[in-house]
Structure formats: structure tokens, C-alpha cells
């Protein structure tokens, strides 16, 4: 490789996945993710257990990422890490590790905003991805966030709509819990929905601002619906699981699309991207693609491996900051709360 190659090691530990990636000039050479299975036993992420699992995973995950990238750690130009938002105990593991390595190798440290990183994953050099031009809108849908963001430049973002209560991922996971499915239930609802009838059951959509979201009413609606039907037939969920999942998924995706349409109309922007864990969902990916013809949109759907939490997206954000000479002080602190605009 030429002398101009910039190698970034990225570390992500904001929630329950420990991930490390190595990028060269914006191209992902390795992207290792260790999922923490332990949380399935508890039906949700247990912060203390997540922090402990990160401590166990971080060294082997980083070692694997460097090995897979086939480079020597002395070739690294900078270390990028997730500063927030996320679980404090989880963030601290990645932050401390990144700081120590940057100090040891005497290279710059770059703090990354996890929510910006989900969006900036669209700028990873990847044959299967087209980069969106500025300005574009991004529907960021994850386990903790649901927002429509207007992106004017890499680090110039504005929230134009967001959830007033639960995130889209929570709507999936909580619905799954009501149906007795293990955590995280989003991918399972997606899988079963593909075998069912999306019009089998109707759930009411929330009445909130044109570009805002609310999912807590839907969760209560699903709970009441299941309670009522199970009282009449204890096997109701088992017998109708595919149709229930398809109907829940249809409702969530319709809500997301309605808001996106409103946002596109309001801003006049027709370059529309999705990002975050829920953007792995097969239905939203399909419906968004169909919207190209229907509404004249250009849509941008991230490669599957860059949807749920991964260090590849932290790496591209770090690389873009590196190009701007935007490094972080060694005293930079993790923060549980951080807006996409910060
Ligand atoms: O972005 P992410 O990995 O973590 C956060 O930053 O929150 O998102 C995780 C969320 C979980 O709620 C999970 O159930 C959901 O993404 N998810 C899905 C799918 N894959 C992951 N939801 C629906 N369909 C999927 N295929
Ligand atoms: Zn995330």
C-alpha cells in the first residue's frame, strides 16, 4: 500500500456488542462483532453484565480485528472510539481501552458520536453502497433512538422529527416480549412476519406531530389485544404467531414510512437514507426501495453488517474526523447522553 494509506482502528462498546474494526482510507478491512448472549436470559440488556462482558471481549476482539486486517498495530494512524450515547459502564470499557492504546502507540485519539456513526456508515467505501449526496434525510431507527435527521454535511446534522417515547427497536423488542419471544425480538418478528398475513390484525397508529413518532400506545394496544385473545383461547399466540408478527411489522413500517413521507414533503429533500439496527429489517428495506418509483426518491440502504451496532461505522466517522484534523484530548470523557447534533 502507498504511504498515503490511513489506517484507523475503531472500537464500539456502547451497549451489548463489543466490536472492533480496522479501516484503510474509508474501506473496512475487518469488522469483528462479539454479541453478548447472556442478556437473552434476562429478557433485556443488564448493564452490569454488559460492562463485564465487554471487559472479557475487548482484547480478543481488537486482536482479531487487527489480525483479520492483516496489518501490524504500528501501522495504525489513529484510534476511534464510541464516546456516547450508551450505557456508561459499557462505554467506559471501550473508552479506557482506546485511550491506553492511543497513548501506548503515541497516535491520535478520535471520539465518535454513536448516533452520527449509524448515519455516517453510508460513507464506508463499499461496492454495494452508493453514498448519499448532501443534503439528505436519514431515518435513524435503533434500540434507543428513532429520529429523522437532515444531514447537510458529515458533521452537520439537524433533528427534524423524533420519538416522544419508545424507539422503533423497543417497539419491536417489547412486542416480541409480549408474544413470549426471546430478546432481542426484532429480528425474530421480522423472520416470522415473512410467513404471515400483514393485514390479519389492525393496530391503531399514534396521533402525534407530522414528523414525530410514538410507540408506547402501540405496545399497550398489542398487550391488550394479546390478553383479550389469550383469555378466549390460551393457544392464540402459538396458533397465529406468523400473522400477529406480520401485522405488528406492517404497522411499525407504515408509521415509519408515513413520517418519512411527511419529512420529505416538508423539506423538499428526496434523497432518503435509513440507518440503525432496525434498518436491518427486511420490510422497511423493501418498502423503501419501492418508494423510489412511487415518490421519485433516491434511497440509501446500508449494507446489512453496518446496520446493527458495529465498529465499522465508528471507523468511518473516525476517518472523516481524521481528514478534518479533528482529534480528541486524552481527557475526553464517555457520556451516556449525547444528541446526534452534538
Ligand atoms: O442500532 P442497534 O444495534 O443498537 C442500538 O444502538 O440501539 O439496534 C438494535 C435494535 C434492537 O431493538 C433490535 O431488535 C433491532 O435493532 N433489530 C431489528 C432487526 N434487527 C435488529 N428490528 C427489526 N427487524 C430486524 N431485522
Ligand atoms: Zn446503535
Structure confidence at residue 40 (pLDDT): 87
At residue 42 the predicted structure's pLDDT band, cuts being 50, 70 and 90, is: confident
The radius of gyration of the chain from alpha carbons, rounded to an integer in Å, stands at 20
In a domain, 195, yes or no: yes
Structure confidence at residue 1 (pLDDT): 47
Structure confidence at residue 3 (pLDDT): 61
In a domain, 197, yes or no: yes
Residues facing 27 on adjacent strands: 24, 125
Ligand 1 near 169 CB (within 6 A): yes
Structure confidence at residue 295 (pLDDT): 97
What is the pTM assigned to this prediction? 0.96
Same domain for 64 and 94, yes or no, is yes
Same domain for 150 and 229, yes or no, is yes
CA end-to-end distance (rounded Å), the chain: 35
In a domain, 239, yes or no: yes
Q: How confident is the prediction for the chain on average, in pLDDT?
A: 96
Ligand 1 near 280 CB (within 6 A): yes
Structure confidence at residue 260 (pLDDT): 98
- 140 CA → ligand 2 middle, Å: 9
Same domain for 190 and 294, yes or no, is yes
Same domain for 147 and 296, yes or no, is yes
Report the pLDDT averaged over residues 82-106.
98
Structural domains of the chain, count: 2
DSSP notation for 170-236: HHHHHHHHHTTPPSS-HHHHHHHHTTS-TTSS--PPP---TT-B--HHHHHHHHHHHHHHHHH-TTH
Angle, helices 282-295 vs 236-267, to 10°: value is 40
At residue 207 the predicted structure's pLDDT band, cuts being 50, 70 and 90, is: very high
Mutate to test the pocket of ligand 1, among 173, 278, 306 (most ligand atoms within 8 A of CB): 278
Instruction: Give pLDDT tens digits for 56-87.
Output: 999 999 999 999 999 999 999 999 999 999 99
Instruction: Give pLDDT tens digits for 103-138.
Output: 999 999 999 999 999 999 999 999 999 999 999 999
Same domain for 76 and 151, yes or no, is no
**Ligand 1 atom 20: the closest Cα is on which residue?**
187
In a domain, 329, yes or no: no
- 239 CA → ligand 2 middle, Å: 33
Instruction: Give pLDDT tens digits for 163-186.
Output: 999 999 999 999 999 999 999 999
Ligand 1 near 144 CB (within 6 A): yes
In a domain, 181, yes or no: yes
Report the pLDDT averaged over residues 223-249.
98
Tell me the residue range of the domain where 291 lies: 136-301
Q: What angle do CA 180, 181, 186 make, to 5 degrees?
A: 135
Report the pLDDT averaged over residues 201-216.
96
Ligand 1 near 249 CB (within 6 A): no
Same domain for 153 and 280, yes or no, is yes
Mutate to test the pocket of ligand 1, among 39, 119, 138, 143 (most ligand atoms within 8 A of CB): 143
Of 322, 319, 318, 316, nearest to 124 by C-alpha is 316
Ligand 1 near 143 CB (within 6 A): yes
- 63 CA → ligand 2 middle, Å: 23
Helix (H) or strand (E) holding 146: strand 146-153
Ligand 1 near 166 CB (within 6 A): no
Same domain for 143 and 291, yes or no, is yes
43: left (phi over 0), alpha (psi -120 to 50) or beta: left
Confidence check: pLDDT of 2 > 60: no
Same domain for 143 and 288, yes or no, is yes
**Percent of the chain clearing pLDDT 90 (strictly above):** 95
Ligand 1 near 302 CB (within 6 A): no
Confidence check: pLDDT of 36 > 90: no
Q: How far apart (Å, rounded) are the C-alpha atoms in residues 235 and 265?
A: 44
Contacts of 174 (CB under 8 A, 6+ apart): 166, 185, 219
At residue 279 the predicted structure's pLDDT band, cuts being 50, 70 and 90, is: very high
Ligand 1 near 315 CB (within 6 A): no
User: In terms of C-beta density within 10 A (0-12 exposed, 13-18 middle, 19 or more buried), how is residue 238 classed?
Assistant: exposed
| CATH number reported for the structural domain that contains residue 147 in this entry | 3.30.420.40
Contacts of 212 (CB under 8 A, 6+ apart): 161, 162, 163, 164, 259
Amino acid at each position: 500500500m502507498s504511504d498515503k494509506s490511513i489506517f484507523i482502528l475503531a472500537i464500539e462498546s456502547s451497549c451489548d456488542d463489543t466490536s472492533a474494526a480496522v479501516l484503510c482510507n474509508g474501506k473496512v478491512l475487518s469488522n469483528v462483532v462479539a454479541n453478548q448472549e447472556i442478556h437473552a436470559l434476562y429478557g433485556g440488556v443488564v448493564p452490569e453484565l454488559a460492562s463485564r462482558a465487554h471487559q472479557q471481549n475487548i482484547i480478543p476482539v481488537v486482536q482479531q480485528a487487527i489480525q483479520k486486517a492483516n496489518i501490524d498495530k504500528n501501522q495504525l494512524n489513529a484510534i476511534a472510539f464510541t464516546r456516547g450515547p450508551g450505557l456508561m459502564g459499557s462505554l467506559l470499557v471501550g473508552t479506557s481501552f482506546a485511550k491506553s492504546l492511543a497513548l501506548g502507540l503515541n497516535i491520535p485519539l478520535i471520539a465518535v458520536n454513536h448516533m452520527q456513526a449509524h448515519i455516517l456508515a453510508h460513507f464506508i467505501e463499499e461496492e454495494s453502497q452508493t453514498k448519499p449526496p448532501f443534503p439528505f434525510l436519514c431515518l435513524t431507527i435503533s434500540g434507543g433512538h428513532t429520529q429523522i435527521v437532515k444531514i447537510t454535511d458529515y458533521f452537520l446534522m439537524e433533528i427534524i422529527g423524533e420519538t416522544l417515547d419508545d424507539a422503533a427497536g423497543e417497539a419491536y423488542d417489547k412486542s416480541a416480549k409480549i408474544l413470549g419471544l426471546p430478546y432481542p425480538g426484532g429480528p425474530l418478528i421480522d423472520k416470522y412476519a415473512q410467513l404471515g398475513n400483514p393485514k390479519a390484525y389492525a393496530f391503531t397508529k399514534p396521533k402525534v406531530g407530522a414528523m414525530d413518532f410514538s410507540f408506547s400506545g402501540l405496545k399497550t394496544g398489542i398487550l391488550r389485544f394479546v390478553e383479550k385473545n389469550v383469555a378466549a383461547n390460551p393457544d392464540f399466540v402459538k396458533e397465529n404467531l406468523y400473522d400477529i408478527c406480520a401485522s405488528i411489522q406492517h404497522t411499525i413500517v407504515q408509521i415509519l414510512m408515513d413520517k418519512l413521507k411527511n419529512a420529505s414533503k416538508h423539506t423538499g429533500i428526496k434523497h432518503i437514507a435509513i440507518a440503525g439496527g432496525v434498518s436491518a429489517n427486511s420490510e422497511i428495506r423493501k418498502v423503501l426501495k419501492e418508494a423510489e418509483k412511487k415518490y421519485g426518491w433516491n434511497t440509501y440502504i446500508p449494507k446489512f453488517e453496518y446496520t446493527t451496532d458495529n465498529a465499522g461505522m465508528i471507523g468511518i466517522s473516525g476517518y472523516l474526523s481524521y481528514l478534518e484534523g479533528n482529534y480528541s484530548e486524552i481527557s475526553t470523557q464517555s457520556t451516556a447522553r449525547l444528541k446526534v447534533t452534538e
